[in-house]
Structure 1
Amino acid sequence: MPRGTNRVRALHRAVGLGVNFIDTARGYGVSEHIVGRAVRERVAGEVRVETEVPPKSRVRPAPEGLDPASAPDPRAPRPEPACA
């Protein structure tokens, strides 16, 4: 059985019982992957999914005046960190 199968089943059951909003975030561990799998498998269009993306600086709340349009593309390759 693939990892997370019981969690995906639980999400399918919840949607079947009327849940229509799922809140997830990277900070919850693998939840975004599990929710994504459940949505792709069965519940797409039946629920709304919300996730939180932390600021690159890890400072919360984000500074006033931050323009999301000026943020770098998260899919772009990141440079290798320098060794100290």
Structure 2
Amino acid sequence: MGLITEVLLLPFAPVRGSLWAVRQVLAEAERQYYDPAAVRAELARLEQRLDAGEIGEEEFNRLEDELLERLETSARRGTGNGDGTT
């Protein structure tokens, strides 16, 4: 951007900075949400809850489907490498 544009947009700098911060937080949250290691850990906890009788088979199947879809989305996006790191 040119100098004049920067001067004219200076009053909006806090807004632009806030938007950048929001985008960064959103990107990190999305990375963690689709992290294969995190999804696998949730699947293991879900199975433990089923074995402990905390949830029924129907709820288990519904939650398992959601987690498997997240894992599939992660594979399509190439998010993470499955060991908790990116």
- Give the TM-score taking structure 2 as reference length: 0.26
Indicate the structure (1 or 2) with the bigger Cα radius of gyration.
Answer: 2
* Higher normalized contact order (CA 8 Å, seq sep 6+, divided by chain length): 2
- Give the TM-score taking structure 1 as reference length: 0.26
Q: Which has the higher strand share?
A: 1
